[in-house]
Amino acid sequence: MAGPPHIELKNVELAYGDFVVMRDITAQVPRGQVFVIMGGSGCGKSTLLWNMIGLRQPPKGDILYDGRSLPAAEPAEREAIKRKFGVLFQGGGLWSSMTLAENIALPLTEHTDLPADEIERLIHLKLALVGLQGFEDFYPSQISGGMMKRAGLARAMALDPEILFFDEPSAGLDPVTSRRLDDLILHLRDNLGTTVVMVTHELDSIFAVADQAIFLDNVSRTVTAAGNPRELLRNTDDPAVRAFLTRGGQRTPAPAL
Amino acid sequence: MPHTIASRCGPQTRAPEQRPSPNPIGLGRSLCSLPGFASTGNTAADLDTPTDSLPPARVELESIDAAHAVLRLVGDWTVNSTRRPEPTLAASVRSDAEIGFDLAAVSAWDSTLIAWLFTLVANCKVRKINFQLTSLPDGVRNLLELAQAVPEHIDATPFGPPAGWVTRIGLALSRGWEAAQNITTFIGECALAVAALIRGRAQFRRADLLLFMQEAGAEALPINLLISFLVGLILAFVGAVQLEQFGASIYVANLVAVAMVREMGCIMSGIIMCGRTGAAYAAQLGTMKVNQEIDAFRTFQFNPIGFLVLPRMIALFLMMPILTLFSNLAGIAGGVLIGIGMLDLTFLEYWHQTVGSLTFNHCVAGFMKSFVFGLIVAITGCYNGMRCPNNAAGVGQATTTAVVAGITAIVVADAVFAVLFNIFKI
């Protein structure tokens, strides 16, 4: 597709105060791709995600959506860019004082002019898409952790976002549920054309869904590998990347699909 | 730009008109982004395009024969378009009819279309109408099938059916009984923890105790002094206005001294500590319970009552009388200010009157109560924290209950003390 990539990271630096966590992160994500941020614990994966969502401001570098810079945008434009985001937080991030239906209804009532019956239809659909049909009136405390995560995804999808951000989507899920979530992510990409940005270190997930990945290296404090993870596994010379993608050497370098 | 689907529906479909994307909130854009679909781009300008010109979402039902029909959807099926029709089929449609779909005339769609179809299929389920989902474009069909993949969870509602009034009274009574048992158990566990402490087998860390004593003592002192000073001032002022009429202004000193030492000193300290420290204990322990920290104590064979509740209880039990002492002094200081400033008494006059009016019994009564109030604040705070439901709203609820129950219990206990002191002539 012509035009600028959907998401573009330009020499982004991540820092806490004076402490630089990562520097020179550069990547381009075309529309409708699954982009995975990988790396060991504490390397700044989630920090990069928070910067991309606009919860934090990168000290250096730029983050562009359709060619428009998020960090440099005026408040109104920033709002417009962020409206197209859907974010799934690690623990679901559901508002605990609201039922699942109310959790999904809130962004819909605040940001659209839809009448109540249409909002209700959308709530049913979004919950059904994540397999939670019939749980509308449950509070987050009344459902399991995996269900909370799926309900969080239903809320993230409420406004039909162009970009879905996932922070460790598989953390705390059993392998089957985690696999279903991967399938759902691919489904959203294929049928809705959603661009997906995902922070994870679940290898199975990475190989299953990623179109493109970057590896944040703890030692050199920058991106040391970028590309399709399966190709990376075959081609990389970097021992850290190889160790990561093979679980420290345990995994055969030709993962089953 | 919303997703255009004409090209997915085969050669019999007609191409939709190309038009700029009126899309004030970005909804529906995601659906346009399938590879191969032209995009008008997402510029800031198209965010304010008016939506009035959108073709309205309509439905036409075209019968082919008695048992076959085609549901033709027309117009803009995005969140920006005007109201969609009700997702039902006319009653005239036969119950075993086969209905196909024709979405060729849909110029743009997003989740609202899928939600509409989803509700339509669900609504017509009882009528056994046979929808031919294969006639839908791939993207729409895939999402619809995904939504239908998991059947609706119907066996349990979160709250159960609404209960009649007899049931509600019964439930309230059994809840009250349960709460009485719980609080008794809790006080019993605290007593056992105290017994363990006396036998020298307490499990908490000394540093924790000192920290709690600092928090409930020195750090609570300024607010306590301020409030008590003002209470003494108010008492003296109200008394002065009345007593001056009888030329008995010197008795303001008696009024302030007895009221502060017997009642107001310990009650004000109790209420302040309930709002300050009792609430903090409920929130701390409640959050620890939500984070499973209390379960972690249990798995390491620590008794959470002994480890968490006991040091807080001791801290308040020891600090409350000291706070009350300062509170009494501050209240009397407030009285002195009025006495000297308004009633032209000298400090010495006021002081002698104060000392003369206070008996040993007044002081004993006030201090006995302060120990009990300290325990009440610690127990209501910790009990509610330890029994907090595992969510954020629960922590707020526990804190509220701790403060409300604590203040109520303090006032009730004070009334009980008043009766007892009257009986025993203290």
CA distances to A94, B10, B103, B246, B409 from B415, in Å: 45, 85, 76, 31, 10
How many of the other CB atoms lie within 10 Å of CB of B173?
A: 10
Nearest CA distance, A209 vs chain B (angstrom): 17
In the predicted model, what is the mean pLDDT of residues A149-176? 87
For chain A positions 85-104, those within 8 Å of chain B (CB to CB) are: 96-97
For chain A positions 17-56, those within 8 Å of chain B (CB to CB) are: 31-32
Contacts of A83 in chain B (CB under 8 A): 25-26
Inter-chain CB proximity A125 and B114 less than 8 Å = yes
* Residue of B35, B112, B153 lying closest to A118 (CB–CB): B112
Inter-chain CB proximity B391 and A139 less than 8 Å = yes
β-pairing, A19-29 vs B58-65, is: unpaired
Per-residue pLDDT band at A251 (split at 50, 70, 90): low
* Residue of B25, B112, B153 lying closest to A83 (CB–CB): B25
Nearest C-alpha in B relative to A68:
B43
- In B145-277, where do the E strands start and end? none
**Residue B155's pLDDT is what?**
66
Give the integer Cα–Cα distance in Å for B220 and B202: 26
Nearest CA distance, A149 vs chain B (angstrom): 15
**Residue B13's pLDDT is what?**
37
**Of B72, B80, B84, nearest in space to B29 by CA:** B80
Best mutation target, B21, B27, B46, to test chain A (most A CBs within 10 A): B27
Nearest C-alpha in A relative to B2:
A192
B153 — contact with chain A (CB < 8 Å)? yes
**Residue B156's pLDDT is what?**
61
Inter-chain CB proximity B33 and A194 less than 8 Å = yes
B70 neighbors B100 (Cβ within 8 angstroms): yes
Contacts of A96 in chain B (CB under 8 A): 391-393
**Residue A202's pLDDT is what?**
85
Inter-chain CB proximity B26 and A159 less than 8 Å = yes
Cβ contacts below 8 Å, chain A against chain B, sum to 138
For chain A positions 189-218, those within 8 Å of chain B (CB to CB) are: 190-195
Say yes or no to pLDDT of A180 above 50: yes
**Of B13, B32, B15, B35, nearest in space to B23 by CA:** B32
Share of chain B above pLDDT 90, in %: 50
**Residue B58's pLDDT is what?**
83
Nearest CA distance, B68 vs chain A (angstrom): 27
**Residue B55's pLDDT is what?**
79
Nearest CA distance, A250 vs chain B (angstrom): 33
Nearest CA distance, B220 vs chain A (angstrom): 32
Nearest C-alpha in A relative to B150:
A131
Q: Quick: pLDDT tens for A111-141.
A: 888 888 889 999 999 999 888 888 999 988 8
**Residue A144's pLDDT is what?**
84
A129 neighbors A105 (Cβ within 8 angstroms): no
Share of chain A above pLDDT 70, in %: 96
Reading across the β-sheet that carries A68-69, which strands appear in turn?
Answer: A19-29, A7-16, A60-65, A68-69
* Residue of B79, B146, B158 lying closest to A139 (CB–CB): B158
Instruction: Enumerate residues 6+ apart whose C-beta is below 8 A from B140.
Output: B5, B103, B109, B113, B114, B117
How many of the other CB atoms lie within 10 Å of CB of B75?
A: 19
B10 neighbors B18 (Cβ within 8 angstroms): no
- Among A67-71, A186-190, B301-305, B417-421, the range with the most confident prediction by mean pLDDT is B417-421
For chain A positions 227-246, those within 8 Å of chain B (CB to CB) are: none
In the predicted model, what is the mean pLDDT of residues A164-173? 84
Inter-chain CB proximity A83 and B26 less than 8 Å = yes
For chain B positions 294-313, those within 8 Å of chain A (CB to CB) are: none
Average pLDDT, chain A: 86
**Residue B337's pLDDT is what?**
95
B116 — contact with chain A (CB < 8 Å)? yes
Helix pair B265-273, B221-244: axis angle to 10 deg: 140
Contacts of A121 in chain B (CB under 8 A): 87, 112, 115-116, 118-119
**Residue B93's pLDDT is what?**
78
For chain B positions 66-85, those within 8 Å of chain A (CB to CB) are: 79, 83-84
Contacts of A115 in chain B (CB under 8 A): 83
For chain B positions 16-55, those within 8 Å of chain A (CB to CB) are: 25-35, 39, 41-44, 47
Q: pLDDT truncated to tens, each residue of chain B (426 aa)?
A: 455 444 333 333 333 433 334 343 334 433 333 333 333 333 333 444 444 567 788 888 888 887 888 888 888 888 877 778 888 887 777 777 888 888 888 888 888 888 899 988 888 888 888 888 888 888 888 888 888 888 887 766 666 677 889 999 999 999 999 999 999 999 999 999 999 989 988 778 888 999 999 999 999 999 999 999 999 999 999 999 999 999 899 999 999 999 999 999 999 999 999 999 999 999 999 999 988 888 888 888 788 898 999 999 999 999 999 999 999 999 999 999 999 999 999 999 999 999 999 999 999 999 999 999 999 999 999 999 999 988 777 899 999 999 999 999 999 999 999 999 999 987
Give the integer Cα–Cα distance in Å for A98 and A80: 26
Nearest CA distance, A65 vs chain B (angstrom): 9
* Residue of B39, B79, B87 lying closest to A112 (CB–CB): B79
